[in-house]
């Protein structure tokens, strides 16, 4: 429905010649194109949005366009570029909406530090954000994911148990719902929580053709998370189908962060099945991507698997 609306506005904008209408069209096009996996089109829409903001001299629009540009780089896993853009957006946002600018910058910085393997640096900030923003469910989901990245598995389990009890109802049907579910899925996959995995799989399956994205960043194709959850549930055949698709999709679309996560998840699944050769192959690819792009969150796990499965296959 969103895609139809965005396409319709895009067709009419030339007739109306109204910059406000065109900005609205570009905003919708970014969201729609990313969800469809059409990242080049999303880049173009974001670029045009920024051009209009600069022409109009509107700092709020420029801030919006800049933090969404950072979000697109986060979705890909280009962490250095994303951090530079997030800092730039924060500076622009000080002119128009300093409180929201700080919150958005904090969210993007938390994403970057977690994937860099530096989650211990931001865990307190995430906890404070959860307390200060009880109505923003994605902060709580983010805390679950950051907790496992810090090795605080008991905290992640507690969050999962509390929020599984009502089917993650706090994640309403809006643009942040799917990204929130992916964050819980990371915690469920890491802690092997079968109850949470079953609920999350059911909630995510209707979005199996979609990329998980909101304006601050994204978490790859939904099938990556469905694959990880299926693995927790012991459905290895379905897990492999999802992970094959996810790894191919992320490799083909310059999304190395989620390609690394997919190969790591696939390696762990194969290791559990006793396939040392296959596990070593996918762990090696996850390790290569992690070292090349600075994904400290995945690198130690991938390196340990390469070593373990190499020894097992010797």
Q: In this predicted model, what pLDDT tens digit does every residue of 184-194 receive, in sequence order? A: 999 999 999 99
Evaluate if residue 314 carries a pLDDT over 90.
no
- Using the predicted structure, report yes or no on whether residue 59 has a pLDDT greater than 80: yes
Closest by CA to 111, choosing from 229, 214, 225, 248, is 214
Tokens found for residue 304: 């340990």
Q: Quick one: average pLDDT of 12-19?
A: 58
Residue 134 has pLDDT above 90, yes or no: no
From 4-8, 65-69, 147-151, 158-162, the region with the lowest mean pLDDT? 4-8
Mean pLDDT of the chain: 91
Higher pLDDT, 312 or 304: 304
Residue 2 has pLDDT above 50, yes or no: no
Structure confidence at residue 309 (pLDDT): 74
Task: Give the pLDDT mean for 135-162.
Answer: 93
pLDDT at 230 over 80: yes
Give me the mean pLDDT over the 66-92 stretch.
97
Relative to beta strand 217-221, strand 211-214 is antiparallel
The pLDDT, as a whole number, for residue 8 is 55
Is the pLDDT reported for residue 10 higher than 60? no
Low-confidence winner among 54-58, 152-156, 275-279 (lowest mean pLDDT):
54-58
Residue 7 pLDDT: 54
Check pLDDT > 70 for residue 77.
yes
Average pLDDT over residues 213-224: 94
Give the whole-number percent of the chain exceeding pLDDT 70.
94
Instruction: Say if residue 204's pLDDT is above 90.
Output: yes
Q: What does the pLDDT read at residue 102? A: 92
């Amino acid at each position: 429905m969103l895609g139809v609306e965005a396409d319709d506005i895009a067709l009419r904008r030339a007739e109306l010649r109204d910059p406000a209408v065109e900005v609205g069209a570009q905003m919708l096009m970014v969201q729609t194109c990313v969800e469809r996996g059409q990242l080049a089109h999303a880049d173009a829409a974001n670029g045009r949005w920024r051009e209009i903001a600069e022409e109009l001299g509107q700092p709020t629009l420029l801030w919006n366009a800049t933090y969404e540009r950072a979000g697109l780089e986060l979705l890909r896993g280009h962490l250095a570029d994303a951090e530079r853009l997030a800092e730039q957006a924060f500076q622009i946002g000080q002119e128009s909406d300093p409180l929201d600018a700080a919150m958005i910058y904090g969210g993007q910085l938390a994403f970057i530090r977690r994937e860099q393997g530096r989650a211990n640096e931001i865990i307190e900030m995430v906890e404070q954000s959860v307390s200060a923003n009880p109505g923003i469910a994605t902060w709580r989901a983010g805390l679950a994911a950051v907790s496992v990245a810090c090795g605080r598995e008991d905290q992640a389990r507690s969050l999962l148990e509390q929020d599984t009890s009502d089917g993650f109802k706090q994640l309403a049907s809006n643009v942040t719902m799917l990204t929130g579910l992916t964050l819980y899925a990371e915690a469920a996959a890491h802690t092997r929580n079968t109850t949470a995995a079953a609920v999350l799989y059911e909630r995510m399956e209707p979005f199996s053709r979609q990329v998980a994205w909101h304006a601050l960043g994204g978490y790859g194709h939904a099938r990556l998370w469905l694959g990880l959850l299926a693995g927790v549930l012991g459905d290895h055949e379905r897990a492999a189908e999802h992970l094959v698709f996810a790894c191919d999709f992320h490799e083909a679309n310059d999304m190395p962060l989620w390609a690394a996560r997919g190969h790591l998840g696939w390696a762990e699944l194969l290791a559990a099945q006793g396939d040392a050769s296959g596990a070593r192959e996918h762990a090696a690819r996850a390790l290569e991507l992690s070292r090349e792009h600075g994904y400290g969150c995945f690198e130690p796990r991938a390196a340990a698997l390469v070593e373990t499965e190499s020894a097992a296959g010797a």
